[in-house]
Structure 1
Amino acid sequence: MSQREIITLAQQAIYTGILLSAPMLGLGLVVGLVVAIFQAITQINEHTLVFIPKILAVAVALIIFGPWLLETIVNFTLKLYNSINTILGL
């Protein structure tokens, strides 16, 4: 297995990881920003106020994007399994 193939495989794995985490991170970021703006407007300085909405937002994102996430990781895994002969040089 050449260095180019290893780098390509690592790039695909990192890209897939970023792609799979993006919906939860994005929704958590938006909810955190909305709650922070709400806290700034109302001058409520409660640090624990952000956690429950973020947890709920990530849970909703998992429910909504769950089938797509599963399909993406299964496709990547199948592609990886199908290329084992190439990776091992057989």
Structure 2
Amino acid sequence: MTNGEVLDIMRSAIVVALKIGGPILILSMVVGVFISIIQAATQIHEQTITFVPKVLLIVFVCLVCGPWMLETLQDFLYQVFGLMI
């Protein structure tokens, strides 16, 4: 295996990680900013107000996008295992 092939695998791994983790991170950040704006407007600064909606959103996104995430990860692993043969 050459250095170029290893770099291609690492690049693919980073792209897959961004595809899988990106939607969850972006949506939780948007919800966090929205709730922070509401907290600043109402001057209620309770930590659990931001925690609970983020957890519920992450669970919902994992339920909705879980099959796609699993399929993406499987495709990448099949590609990596195929290079081992």
Q: Same fold (TM over 0.5)?
A: yes
Give the match for residue 88 of structure 1: none
Which stretches of structure 1, 4 residues or longer, exceed 3 Å deviation after superposition?
none
Number of residues of Structure 1 aligned to a counterpart in Structure 2: 85
* Cα RMSD after superposing both structures: 1.0
* Amino acid in structure 2 at the alignment position of 1:23: P
Q: Deviations over 1:10-35 (max 9, x none)?
A: 11111111111011111101110111
1:54 deviates by: 0.5
* Amino acid in structure 1 at the alignment position of 2:25: L
Unaligned runs of at least 5 residues, structure 2: none
Q: Deviations over 1:23-63 (max 9, x none)?
A: 11111011101110110111112223211111011111101
Give the match for residue 38 of structure 1: 38
Q: Give aligned-pair identity as a percent.
A: 34
Distance 2:31 2:61 in 1: 12
1:54 equivalent to 2:68? Answer no
Distance 2:52 2:9 in 1: 37
Choose 1 or 2 for highest CA Rg: 1
Distance 1:27 1:64 in 2: 13
1:16 equivalent to 2:16? Answer yes
